[in-house]
Structure 1
Amino acid sequence: MCGRLTLTHPNDALARLFDAAPANDLPEPPNYNLCPTQDVSVVVSDGARRALRPMRWGFIPHWYKTPTGGPLLINARAETIAEKPAFRAAVRARRCLIPAAGFYEWTKGADDARLPWYFSRPDGAPLVFAGIWQIWDKGEDPLATCAIVTTGASDWMAETHHREPVVLAEADWPTWLGEADAKAAPLMKPAPEGLYQRWRVDPAVNSNRAHGPELITPLAA
């Protein structure tokens, strides 16, 4: 599961990183508590040129009559993505990159209290998640939507959660975007050891109304 993100890198820096043309309506960083149904910045490619554009985090299958016409699909499981009717066409033809500064996961404390942890890269570089996207066109205006691909957790990640987002190395971006003639399925695996750092943060982040850099401050012991 990957259910909350942070997005703090400037849009122009992301555009340079991915060599992508930025849209004018990208979500404005920083956002220290980016929640499902909000816009994320997504990299797509037509094979010749990349674009950095906003998409609603929450994939909407084409048969939904409204955006809330079924379960909120923020993640797609790597193990079944090629078989699920909601995702199988997208994973073949509409793959994307979803950058984030970090993400939150939760463990359970006393009395089932939700204890949040923050994950990011030690070097401060963006995490680049494997994603899929879909245009939902049943409303007045077409809506671009996306989901993050997840896989079973590594032993280290499993100390916190049994699943983790698929993170792509720069060398694998062309394959995932369909720019390279290679199979994408082998890329859907846990992150290598040492990619992440993690620490406990204040339960204030449990509220989707909470904002500010203090949300990722390490919790005092």
Structure 2
Amino acid sequence: MCGRFVHTLPKEAMVQLFDAVPANDLPEGDNYNVCPTNQVHAVLQTEGQRRLTAMRWGFLPHWYKAPNDGPLLINARAETVAEKPAFRAAVRERRCLIPATGFYEWTKDEEGNRLPWYIHATAGAPLVFAGIWQDWERDGDALRTCAIVTTAANKTMSEIHHRMPVILAPEDWPLWLGEAGHGAATLMTAGPEGSLTFHRVDRAVNSNRARGPELIEPI
């Protein structure tokens, strides 16, 4: 799964990277501990143009009566996303890109303590997760929400976890966004071996209140 990630990409860089028009309500500043229900950056295709916008990380199906009406859906499994009632329309019609600098995963030691790892691109480039999104509205409250698509880990990632986000290369973005026709399902696989690297970080990141660049420093 993917339960926390890091975002330190400047707005201007994302606008250029994705050739997207930015919204006015984007999250400000670096976030070294992006948590579920936070606002995140996402790129979607609408009205013939890419748009960089803000979304709540935590997908809300249209039948939820309130944001806490059911399970917090931060991830969607690639193997079942086309079948699950919550996700099947979104994966056909509402796919997005979710940029990140890196993400966290956890292992456990012999005493059961959770040990965090920071994962990022070996080449230092931004990561772009495959996402799906959903507009939710109830009693005057409106939210644009998203989930990250995950898949079985490749050999590299399986050393620390059995799942990983679907990470899209730039040449795959048009297909995922629906700009290049059909066939997005073929992209929902683990990335190539060697494209990611990871290191242990301090357990301070276990708290969702933790902030600051020291969270990704190796220990």
Task: Say yes or no: TM over 0.5.
Answer: yes
Matched, 1:155 2:118: no
| Structure 1 equivalent of residue 175 of structure 2 | 175
Residues 1:108 and 2:108 aligned together? yes
- Contact 1:45-1:51 within 8 A present in 2 as well: yes
Is contact 2:156-2:194 (8 Å) kept? no
Q: Percent identity over the alignment?
A: 65
Residue 5 (str. 1) matches residue 5 (str. 2): yes
Equivalent residue for 2:62?
62
Alpha-carbon RMSD across the aligned residues, in angstroms, is: 0.9
Quote the Cα distance in structure 2 between the aligned partners of 1:99 and 1:139: 31
Corresponding residue number in structure 2 for 1:203: 203
Q: Is the 8 A contact 1:47 1:178 kept in 2?
A: no
CA-to-aligned-CA distance 1:5-35 (integer Å, 9 cap, x gap): 1000101111110000011111113100010
Q: If the length of structure 1 is used for normalisation, what is the TM-score?
A: 0.97
Paired amino acid for 1:99: P
Q: CA deviation at 1:155?
A: 1.4
> CA–CA distance in 2 between the matches of 1:87 and 1:134?
9
Secondary structure of the corresponding residue to residue 14 of structure 1 = helix
Aligned counterparts, 1:41-190, within 5 A: 41-46=41-46, 48-190=48-190
The offset of 1:47, in angstroms, is 5.9
* TM-score, length of structure 2 as denominator length: 0.98
| Structure-1 separation of matches of 2:45 and 2:181 | 14
Asked whether the 8 Å contact 1:11–1:29 carries over to 2, the reply is: no
Deviations 1:146-194 (A, max 9, x none): 0000001111111100000000010110000000113101100001111
Distance in 2 (alpha carbons) for counterparts of 1:201 and 1:110: 18
Structure 1 segments (4+ residues) deviating >2 Å: none
Deviation at 1:139, TM superposition (A): 4.0
Amino acid at match of 2:120: S
Q: Distance in 1 between matches of 2:153 and 2:185?
A: 17
Matched pairs, number: 219
Classify 1:139/1:31 alpha carbon distance in 2 versus 1 (closer, same or farther; 3 Å).
Answer: farther
Could you list the runs of 5+ residues in structure 1 that have no partner in the other structure?
none
Paired residue type of 1:40 = V
SS state at 1:215 partner: helix
Q: Distance in 2 between matches of 1:68 and 1:101?
A: 28
Q: Is the partner of 1:110 in helix, strand or coil? A: coil
> 1:213 matched to which residue of 2?
213
In terms of mean alpha carbon deviation, does 183-192 or 136-145 score higher? 136-145
Deviation at 1:126, TM superposition (A): 1.0
Does the aligned pair in 1 maintain the 2:123–2:195 contact within 8 Å? no
